[in-house]
A and B are shown apart, each in its own frame.
Chain A
Amino acid sequence: MDIRTKLSLLLVAVSLISMGLLGAFAYRTSAGMLQEISIRQLDALAEGKKRDLLKVQQNWRRTIHLLTRHVVSQGRFNGIISSEKTAASQTLMNLISLYAEVNGIASVKIFDATGAEWVTVGQPSLAKQHLMPSTDIEYRGTIVTDAQAVQVVMAARIIDQGKLVGGLELTYDARDLISIAENLTGLGTTGEVLMFSGGLEGSAVTLLSRRRHIGAVQQGQKLEFAEMSADIQAALKNDVEPSSQVMDDRGQLVWMASRYIPELEWGLVVKVDASEEEVRSELLLTALVDIGLSVSAFAILGGALLGLYFARPVQQLVDVVQRFNAGENDVRATIQGDDEITYLAATLNDYLDTVSSPSKRTDDA
């Protein structure tokens, strides 16, 4: 193999090894940073959505509080109830209807201190006994109707002149909440926000949000807590650290952040398929490999040029020897520079002088 090829191959091998080591370090560091940034983004998204959900929930609390005040302000509650369908009672009902319509309330139920129902506006979903709330305002539960609508039920005490006179139960349409969950901005093509209600160990869990993945558990579907993946279970009990090694209910590896909202007993999971997130790392890897290979091309050129630089004087020496063998006794190598090849050329010239000198030729004869 000639010097040029040897040098080119050697330099490109050294270059590729160096690039490989540098690339491996750069890839590991950058991929780790990319993962960290992505997980932080997921965590920030989860936190943002939790805050949005809490705002909606606070809005509901304000609404029920205001409605309770309206009910009380219409007159003495007991008086209205006892007067049955009086004008005041009718005015109150009209007010409630209007209020429900404006505030996206699916149904309103008012009951007296004994739990006996006094008036109902709309179609209540929870047809249970009217227990008096244990606190001024109480979250009663989340339901998914047959039409796959998510509703949230809250109840409040009605206190008139310091005396507990009855209760109010509102069923809210949870569209606002679901729209927060179904906003997938920043979640790529595989990302999802899952909202689960329930979550106490041993109980069923209901998925409240719609899924984008066909075949996955869908909105309104109930799941046994034990059926959920361990990571989702953890997310339904408490806030967990965002992670990049989580299996979701589809058995897919996902990068996930979660929040628990104790006021609603909701678990919020923000996740993206790991395969989608890893595409960025793969792009980075491809770019690094391309750069490494392309930059190594300079080593090939360098090797070829160095090879030519070294091979040319050697080739000249070969020419000198061949011409001398052909009978050109006067031919000598050019001595230029002070490297080993020059030393070789000088030695060759000395040798040729000796061989071609008349005394040497006479001795040989």
Chain B
Amino acid sequence: MMPEFLDTLKLFGGFVYLLMGGELLVRGALAFSKRTRIPAVVVGMTVVAMGTSAPELMISILAALSGHPDVAVGNVIGSNIANVLLVLGVPLLLYPIATNQPGLRWQTSLMIAVSIFFIVLCYFQPITIFGGISLVSVLVVFLIASARGVAILPNVEDAEEELKGIGLPSHPSTILLLIVLGCIALPLGADLVVRGGVGLAASWGIKESVIGLSLVALGTSLPELSTTLVAAFHKNSDVAIGNVIGSNLFNILAILGITAILTDIPVSADFMEFDIWVMLAASLTLWVAALLKGSLGRLMGAFYLGSYLLYIWILF
């Protein structure tokens, strides 16, 4: 009972540190960008995009480096599943989302292509440095294309709005303090999450991959869920779909790519048998919705949420 409690506490504390670390890092980096007058579009594609993905990145790197690759891969696959089925499903119950947004068909197609590339890499596992470099290269290409206006990469938030935000420090020492604290809190939180997750898996007698796919993935998807929920309450759910696609692309291209560059990632057969196909199927539903150019409503929300609950039930 005691180790279980301690591991749950670690998991909870880890997520809070990750959220705080990501927030501090983004705010510090934004303040730095504002002070050094780096163009907003560059800030958006680097600082904001990478900063908001820092918790997932840190968890995957730390898990892979500490000999728990199932947690790293499970985090990415589970996050992508949770993003579509949960992060989109819940706000859909509140307010419908239009799927005729400009560039959405292209973005969902890109997500499907990247997901298939990821499946191919998993099939020829382990994902080595070459796989990692190719994933990051794809990301860099699309970031450059987006910066030049050739392509639209979702979830690269409007940095100009971020730069106007209240509370950005102006003093260099405060900026440095935020960045340093962010850099300390992120690996600290990731370490607590990984050890808590692995400990819980051992206590409950389940595989580490299950913890990665469920608890860790859910924890890292909570910020996106809260953002989309707030947007849904303001009857502005349309941004949710862009956030989900952007997060899914970053999860595979950046998080898995950078982790694979640092260390080889073996992919468990369990993922190939079931979870990876759930991820692809969930992504395909978005792609079909984008092709049909209609709108996703409460029925789809209930379907997404029900599917997610069923998936979690099957996992455990």
Contact = CB atoms under 8 A, between A and B. Distances in A.
Q: Which 6 A-B pairs have the closest CB atoms?
A: A2-B167, A294-B13, A297-B16, A297-B13, A294-B9, A1-B169
Contacts of A258: none
B230 to A, nearest CB: 13
A1 B167 contact: yes
B13 A295 contact: yes
Nearest to A304: B20
A290 B27 contact: no
B192 A315 contact: no
A297 B12 contact: yes
B6 A290 contact: yes
Contact of B188 (A1, A8, A287, A293): A293
Interface in B1-36: 6, 9-10, 12-17, 20, 23-24, 27
A301 B17 CA distance: 10
Interface string B134-177: 00000000000000000000000000000000110100001000
Interface string A1-42: 111110011001000000000000000000000000000000
Contacts of A290: 6, 9-10, 13, 192, 195
Contacts of B166: 2, 315
A185 to B, nearest CB: 25
Given A5-B167, A300-B20, 7 more contacts: A1-B169, A290-B10, A290-B13, A293-B17, A293-B192, A294-B14, A297-B14
Contacts of B174: 1
Contacts of B17: 293, 297, 300
A291 interface: yes
Interface of B: 6, 9-10, 12-17, 20, 23-24, 27, 166-167, 169, 174, 178, 181, 188, 192, 195
Nearest to A6: B167
Interface string A272-302: 0000000000000001001101111110110
Contacts of B13: 290, 293-297
A300 B166 CA distance: 19
Contacts of B12: 294, 297
Given A290-B6, A291-B9, A300-B16, A4 B167 contact: yes
Interface string A290-323: 1101111110110000000000000100000000
A118 B10 CA distance: 79
Contacts of A301: 16
Nearest to B3: A287
A5 B16 contact: no
Contacts of B20: 8, 12, 300
B200 to A, nearest CB: 13
Given A2-B166, A300-B16, A291 B6 contact: yes
6 contacts: A5-B24, A5-B167, A293-B188, A293-B192, A298-B16, A300-B20
**Chain B interface helix/strand/loop/mixed:** helix
A5 B21 CA distance: 11
B58 to A, nearest CB: 15
A295 B167 contact: no
A61 to B, nearest CB: 51
Q: Which of B6, B13, B27 has the most CB atoms of chain A within a 10 A radius of its CB?
A: B13
A5 B26 CA distance: 13
Contact of B6 (A287, A298, A300): A287
Nearest to B8: A294
Contacts of B24: 5
Q: Which of A287, A290, A301 has the most CB atoms of chain B within a 10 A radius of its CB?
A: A290
Contacts of A3: 167
A295 B16 contact: no
B169 to A, nearest CB: 5
A4 B20 CA distance: 11
Contacts of A295: 9, 13
A136 to B, nearest CB: 60
Contacts of B181: 9
Nearest to A2: B167
Given A5-B24, A300-B16, A294 B192 contact: yes
A5 to B, nearest CB: 6
A9 B181 CA distance: 9
A285 B282 CA distance: 44
Given A297-B16, A297-B17, A5 B27 contact: yes
Contacts of A296: 13
Nearest to A12: B20
Contacts of A297: 12-17
Contacts of B23: 5
Contacts of A287: 6
A315 B165 CA distance: 12
A319 to B, nearest CB: 11
A296 B169 CA distance: 24
Contacts of B178: 1, 5
A301 B10 CA distance: 15
Contacts of B16: 297-298, 300-301
Q: Which of B10, B15, B27, B178 has the most CB atoms of chain A within a 10 A radius of its CB?
A: B10
